[in-house]
Structure 1
Amino acid sequence: MSKQAIEKLNLKGKVNIEIPEILFSSVEHALRMLVRDLETVLGASPQLVTESDKNAELCIRLALENDDIPKRSEAFGFRFHSDGVIPYMEIIGHDELGLVYGILEFSRIYLGIQPFWFWTDQSIAKQLEINIPCLDYDAPVPKVRYRGWFVNDEVSLIGWKDPYPPTREVWEPVFEALLRSGGNMVIPGTDLPRDGIHYKLASEMGLWVTHHHAEPLGAEMFLRAFPGRNASYQEAPELFERLWAEAIEEQKNMKVLWVLSFRGQGDAPFWYNDPSFDTSEKRGAMISKVIRKQYDMIGSVVKNPVYCVALYGEIAELFKGGYVDLPEDVIKIWADNGYGKMVSRRHNNQNHRVPSLPTSDDRGRDGLYYHVTFHDLQASNHLTMYPGSATFLKQEIEAAFAAGADDYLLINCGNIRPHVYSLDILRELWSAGTIDVKKHLNEFVSGYYASHQDELKELYQSYTEAAIQYGPHADDLAGDEYYHHPARQIIGHWLQGKCKQPDSRLFWAVGEVPFYHQVKNFEDLLAQGIEKWGAWLTRCDEVLAKLDTDDLRRATDHLRFHGALHLSGCEGFYWMCRSFREYHEQRYPQAFVFASESMSFYKKGLDILRDAEHGKWDRFYRADWLTNIESTVNNVDTVRQFLRMHGDSPDFFLWYKEYLMPETEKHIYLENTHRNPLSDSELAVLLKQHFTRSGSINP
């Protein structure tokens, strides 16, 4: 039978698969995924054989010299043949990752398994048979050579299961999603114990591993290894070099993108530990010296090493100033500001927004470190989806590629689950180099939802329009941390009796104005946010009411969850600001009522987290230590108690007597029979009803 006569390959029941006799560990992982996928779709576990099998419908193998598969790393192709009776398909990889990508792409194209199937609880359709058109296929060359995730601020992954550090059960779905997205490198977590499985498993699954810029070469932190010593390279170079040598020895047989860097302990400039470096010249010279030493140490042990330098924070400023000298074959990694804009990040109130991209005269190789989630104690999105638009992401990444920063793309992916839409946009960009945002959204929604797709697409598109814009720039959009960190700062400033002076920590958000006006500026922005998020959530609920059970759960977790967290945060922060305004006017019972309103809305945020912890996601958000909604609830509760001291103390019966007790009782009750004061919550409910009826508050 000629190739032209082969039209379709039909797979059903127990599929026979011929696999290579010698398997890489990464391919073994990919085959386990394929077996699971086929069993899920066809209802039968496939038969894997290593010897030549004439009945095999699939053959998975490495490319031979005479194959016409592209001869480049990670390449793969599909080829169709017939032994005269039965057609069969070959998945041919140039190397181990080529085989892995080929297997997973087969699963995506023909079985419908999407890259984030695990993280979105994708409903995978059962089929009696799969009809595969017999058309040869070669995978295109990815735009970016090294592309992957930094699993950073990963508290949900840490808190999800009891064992610490996280086990294979946690990490395998992370690395699987990355591989299904075409990624090939990872920083697996932040400052996790060195005896954890994370680096070993990432390597075992075929990924390049790389390092946090605060942990050059993946070495042990100096002060952990040598507690009590001054972390000064100038004083003890041999101790630093011992740690670097140990890291090189430990990783020399792995695929590593070696990060060269020199920062101080705790991800701070090194001169915090060594203040004698008090000029840019001295600092740049030391960084250059250390990087060259690390470069030479690796080069003496590792064959064909790949080097990177993260131009992050002070190193970027020194490099742009001409104070840091780097070897030409080092990939320079440029970072966004944490909010998706390729400019320098905001430091407290300083926001210079210096462009963070290579210039036209830049020599060498360049790449990007980019955030779709961030934690900065100001306005970042951590629990919620990136608030910027797909078009904004497209513009920033495509402009960076045009500037030559396309050798490397590392995405801060956080805890994966809240960020799948943004991560899927970046998947398309690192693969193709460009994206049609409308087409991508069509494919994303149709890949994960079965019905009402146009209305769901509108919700994804309009999500960004509801975000609070707190500053003049397109990336000045509030994430979930905006409702919590500034709120707790205001509470601390207020309760410490500093209301007569502004809180300098808030200048970035509401300006250098008196504290009362700082709080009022937040209040005005939050009122707008309540209106916009309320309207978005109403539209969301109208759409969700039409969905079947599976799509409803998915849309609740991946759309409504985000809007509801924004709205509850907006409302909680707004009423806390209103409470301060009443306090400022010495209307303490009214301030107490508004603080109680604030607390009830913030508590809604905790309910939203708990509702999202169904099934396998049980306790997924229990380690919300960064946005930390529970801490905000406790802070507002402290405000309530503080306010009740203003006129209801010491008996905590005075407001009840003044506002709630019937007039006839006030003059005849016996005090020794009325001594059980109401709780804060009970009193707040009754006072709210009283003040609303009397018109003395306007909620």
Structure 2
Amino acid sequence: MSSQQQFFTITASSIYYIQAEMSMPIRHAWKMISRDHSNVFGELPLQGEDAAVVVRYAEPGDGCPEWPEAFCLRFNGRVTGQQPTLHIVGRDELGIVYGLLYYSRTILGVDPFWYWAELRPAKRELITLPAVDYVSVQPKVRYRGWFVNDEVCLIGWKEEYPPTEEVWQPVFEALLRCGGNMVIPGTDLPRSGIHHKLATEMGLWVTHHHAEPLGAEMFLRAYPGKQASYSEHPNLFERLWRDAIEKQQHDRIVWVLSFRGQGDKPFWEDDPAFDTPAKRGALITSVVAKQYDMVREYVADPVCCMAMYGEIAELYKAGHIEVPEDIIKIWADNGYGKMVSRRHGNLNLRVRALPNREDKGKHGVYYHVTFHDLQASNHLTMFPGRPEFIAQELQKSFHCGASEYLLVNCGNILPHLYTLDLTAQLWQAGMTDVEKHLYKFIGRQYSFQQAQIAELYRQYADCTIAYGPNEDDRAGDEFYHHPARQIMGHWLQGRSDSDHRLIWAAGERPFVEQVRWFKEKAAAAETGWARLREQGVVVTKLLSEEEGKRLQVQLLVQIELHLSGCRGLIAICRAYEAYLAGLYPQAFVHASQAVWSYTNGLHALREAEQGQWAHFYRADWLTNIANTIEHADTVRKYLRILGDSPDMFLWYKEYLMPETEKYIYLENTHRNPLTDDELARRLEKKFASLVDGLEVSWK
């Protein structure tokens, strides 16, 4: 390229020519580019044939790769003294979409998570860059995307239900900007919602939950009162499947073939006639074959997959299920990032969940960077393990041949931007330098203190509770809440036997020892979280107001959820110990401390709900911090009834009333007992000043 011909300039008045037909996916992509151009230059883009940017399908001689979704940027018409024309060339419809979004990212400077990170592109009067051609690199994974699962925050964010385009459009846009092409748009949402339609309109392949094969309606919803038995009602099941196929036959669909029971459980729990692995495997094999044949009646060369999940993986590995070779077999991690079978209650077999070398055909992965399991999962907070672990597990999966498909459980998006960005890098390149990726991720969002912010992210995983012997046994936010509520319920039911619901973590031991185990785990982690929060607050004060808010919304709120959760769990365990010792006033104070600590976590969510995030966390129905607070408040009220009833004045008289008044006051002058909070605060100070060992569990 000669020196006179090496630069390309784009300005507010530059003209775009969309030569390709304005299909719905291209129309949506153009809306994104129009908004991006306007955000950068302050004016909507112009359209016309005398254009600086031409958008079109590939032609012979373009050198655009032959693989699906490929694109390239070509600078044509380089004549001395003349501005070259940028041609954004796509092999197919999605190729054009990705080409436009590559232009947005690399030339207009729009971040893939611009909306979720509140990261507006820099204002410019003109952009000048070398006119160097670009050819896209084929992604490592053919079908790659997100499962928007356990998405209660997205559901409750706005008043409308099911969520409208206002909620879904930023989700699908971010996925496309990350190079994704596939989505499960939500979990068991009303079919009247826009989620499926909008996803297909934006060019995404839609796939299905493994409990809803072919995207069909649940049997018991369609036929309430009937037994959900395929052997008894094959025609009814097949009618639902056919209806789903007919409705979606013209969309981009990765068809899920499967057969599980209603409510995402083994079908034989409702159909006990299938009482052997051979019988169960034979039925699944026949049903999948039937579904496969039905899809091929309507769709030429359909893309089909089957989830090797739970009992299906066990039956398949035991040789009881046969799967046609061109069906993609999907292997799942355990919810904590490890490619082994997931824990069910207290059963944790950890069977390897990857194809064997002799297992031919196509394979893929369903992977969790967020999870909900009523035990120790991360729902409101980031993946609790090290990012190197995520990279290691996915790279190992690709090495085993599971690279045709990668579906990442993305939850509510906002708390998981870092890990979603990391997995996008992995599905694109197949590998990554985790340290370099972290610095690039931080560098995109913060102008200063980048090393310090990177260190906060780096230390995050080191602070999480290691509750078991395995590298993936790391606790997320639910660890502080579901077990705590189980402890409080077991306690108030008057039970002292081992709580079987806690065996997965604390082992099968007396209840008091289970409680002590949780207290010790939380106490060991509290100092690290407190130190990390202090570091985060210091860094935030050194940032601009905008970037400080970004760090709070993306990271500090999560640190506070861990710290407040640790302290709340410690306090409720101490309350139980004091209760067993007969120290009801001290137990009452500890239970009150649990209320206050958990409330700090709720306040952190409220503080993060600024601007566009107003009400984002109001539907916290899964971790459910408010529910934990109510449990702890019930415990302290119970304790006060035990020791301060009936007039709620005994503890005041014993511990707080001046000695000069204690024996001469008149009952009718003390009719307004202290509130629980006020009494607990004053007792807390009183007990903290004692040195005679009155409260055995105080420290």
Bucket of the pairwise TM-score, normalised by the shorter protein: over 0.9
Supply the distance in 2 between the matched residues of 1:589 and 1:613 (Cα, whole angstroms). Answer: 36
Tell me which residue corresponds to 1:536: 532
SS in 2 for 1:694: coil
Supply the distance in 1 between the matched residues of 2:531 and 2:504 (Cα, whole angstroms). Answer: 28
Supply the distance in 1 between the matched residues of 2:247 and 2:583 (Cα, whole angstroms). Answer: 65
| Mapped pair 1:77 → 2:84 | no
Supply the distance in 1 between the matched residues of 2:389 and 2:537 (Cα, whole angstroms). Answer: 26
1:243 corresponds, among 236, 240, 244, to 240
SS in 1 for 2:373: coil
| Mapped pair 1:367 → 2:364 | yes
Report if aligned partners of 2:146, 2:183 keep a CA contact under 8 Å in 1. Answer: yes
Report if aligned partners of 1:259, 1:307 keep a CA contact under 8 Å in 2. Answer: yes
Supply the distance in 2 between the matched residues of 1:115 and 1:67 (Cα, whole angstroms). Answer: 27
1:583 corresponds, among 572, 579, 583, to 579
- Choose 237-246 or 31-40, whichever is displaced more: 31-40
Tell me which residue corresponds to 1:33: 32
| Mapped pair 1:394 → 2:387 | no
1:471 CA drift (Å)? 0.4
Alignment of 1:125-136 (within 5 A): 125-136=122-133
- Choose 19-28 or 289-298, whichever is displaced more: 19-28
Report if aligned partners of 2:110, 2:120 keep a CA contact under 8 Å in 1. Answer: no
Supply the distance in 1 between the matched residues of 2:685 and 2:103 (Cα, whole angstroms). Answer: 62
- Choose 515-524 or 532-541, whichever is displaced more: 532-541
Supply the distance in 2 between the matched residues of 1:64 and 1:199 (Cα, whole angstroms). Answer: 32
Report if aligned partners of 2:155, 2:162 keep a CA contact under 8 Å in 1. Answer: yes
Report if aligned partners of 1:123, 1:550 keep a CA contact under 8 Å in 2. Answer: no
Tell me which residue corresponds to 2:9: 10
Relative to the length of structure 2, the TM-score reads 0.98
1:660 CA drift (Å)? 1.1
SS in 2 for 1:300: helix
1:229-250: per-residue Cα shift (whole Å, max 9, x none)?
0000010100000000000000
- Choose 37-46 or 362-371, whichever is displaced more: 37-46
1:67 CA drift (Å)? 2.4
Tell me which residue corresponds to 2:468: 471
| Mapped pair 1:145 → 2:142 | yes
Structure 2, unaligned stretches of length 5 or more?
Answer: none
Report if aligned partners of 2:516, 2:573 keep a CA contact under 8 Å in 1. Answer: yes
Residue identity matched to 2:387: A
SS in 1 for 2:115: helix
SS in 2 for 1:90: strand
Tell me which residue corresponds to 1:414: 411
Report if aligned partners of 1:233, 1:240 keep a CA contact under 8 Å in 2. Answer: yes
Tell me which residue corresponds to 1:187: 184
Report if aligned partners of 1:6, 1:81 keep a CA contact under 8 Å in 2. Answer: no
Tell me which residue corresponds to 1:506: 502
Supply the distance in 1 between the matched residues of 2:351 and 2:464 (Cα, whole angstroms). Answer: 25
1:205-238: per-residue Cα shift (whole Å, max 9, x none)?
0000000000000000000000000000010100
1:247-280: per-residue Cα shift (whole Å, max 9, x none)?
0000000010000000000001101110111110
Alignment of 1:36-435 (within 5 A): 36-49=35-48, 52-53=49-50, 56-82=51-77, 84=79, 85-435=82-432
SS in 1 for 2:689: helix
Report if aligned partners of 1:15, 1:45 keep a CA contact under 8 Å in 2. Answer: no
Residue identity matched to 1:149: W
Supply the distance in 1 between the matched residues of 2:562 and 2:121 (Cα, whole angstroms). Answer: 31
Report if aligned partners of 1:341, 1:396 keep a CA contact under 8 Å in 2. Answer: yes
Report if aligned partners of 1:367, 1:405 keep a CA contact under 8 Å in 2. Answer: yes
Q: Note the aligned Cα RMSD (angstroms).
A: 1.1
Relative to the length of structure 1, the TM-score reads 0.98
Supply the distance in 2 between the matched residues of 1:460 and 1:131 (Cα, whole angstroms). Answer: 35
1:109 CA drift (Å)? 0.8
| Mapped pair 1:607 → 2:603 | yes
2:662 corresponds, among 663, 666, 678, to 666
1:461 CA drift (Å)? 1.1
Report if aligned partners of 2:111, 2:121 keep a CA contact under 8 Å in 1. Answer: no
Alignment of 1:512-527 (within 5 A): 512-527=508-523
Alignment of 1:547-558 (within 5 A): 547-558=543-554
Residue identity matched to 2:57: L
| Mapped pair 1:565 → 2:542 | no
Report if aligned partners of 2:20, 2:55 keep a CA contact under 8 Å in 1. Answer: no
Report if aligned partners of 1:576, 1:595 keep a CA contact under 8 Å in 2. Answer: yes
| Mapped pair 1:593 → 2:589 | yes
Structure 1, unaligned stretches of length 5 or more?
Answer: none
1:83 CA drift (Å)? 6.4
- Choose 687-696 or 609-618, whichever is displaced more: 687-696
Supply the distance in 2 between the matched residues of 1:273 and 1:241 (Cα, whole angstroms). Answer: 18
Report if aligned partners of 1:74, 1:98 keep a CA contact under 8 Å in 2. Answer: yes
Distance change in 2, residues 1:3/1:78 (3 Å): farther
> How many pairs are equivalent?
693
SS in 2 for 1:91: strand
Supply the distance in 2 between the matched residues of 1:111 and 1:452 (Cα, whole angstroms). Answer: 25
Residue identity matched to 1:162: E
1:452-484: per-residue Cα shift (whole Å, max 9, x none)?
111111111111111110000111000000000
SS in 2 for 1:380: coil
Supply the distance in 2 between the matched residues of 1:603 and 1:72 (Cα, whole angstroms). Answer: 53
Tell me which residue corresponds to 2:617: 621
